[in-house]
Amino acid sequence: NSEDVRCKCICPPYKDHSGHIYNKNVSQKDCDCLHVVEPMPVPGPDVEAYCLRCECKYEERSSVTIKVSGVTLL
């Protein structure tokens, strides 16, 4: 299920841009700044430097388990 996988990129502040967290449903091979950070907050010449600062992680989770756990906790 594509809703159960995502790529999460945590990008710290860069120049005059504040830090931001980006989430996107992409394949594991596309889990990088260039595929996940949209819209790109910096102009072309700064993209590489900006992306090098971002930490991207591929995450798999079970939404069924999360829903069941949420109901159980209520």
Predicted local confidence at residue 2, as pLDDT: 45
Residue 2, in any domain of the structure: no
Rounded to whole angstroms, the maximal C-alpha distance in the chain is: 50
Give the DSSP letter of residue 27: -
Residue 72, in any domain of the structure: no
Q: What's the pTM?
A: 0.76
C-beta separation of 41 from 2 below 8 A: no
Residue 26, in any domain of the structure: yes
Predicted local confidence at residue 50, as pLDDT: 98
Question: pLDDT tens digits for the chain (74 residues)?
Answer: 445 889 999 999 999 999 999 999 999 999 999 999 999 999 999 999 999 999 999 998 766 655 555 555 55
Residue 11, in any domain of the structure: yes
Number of domains in the chain: 1
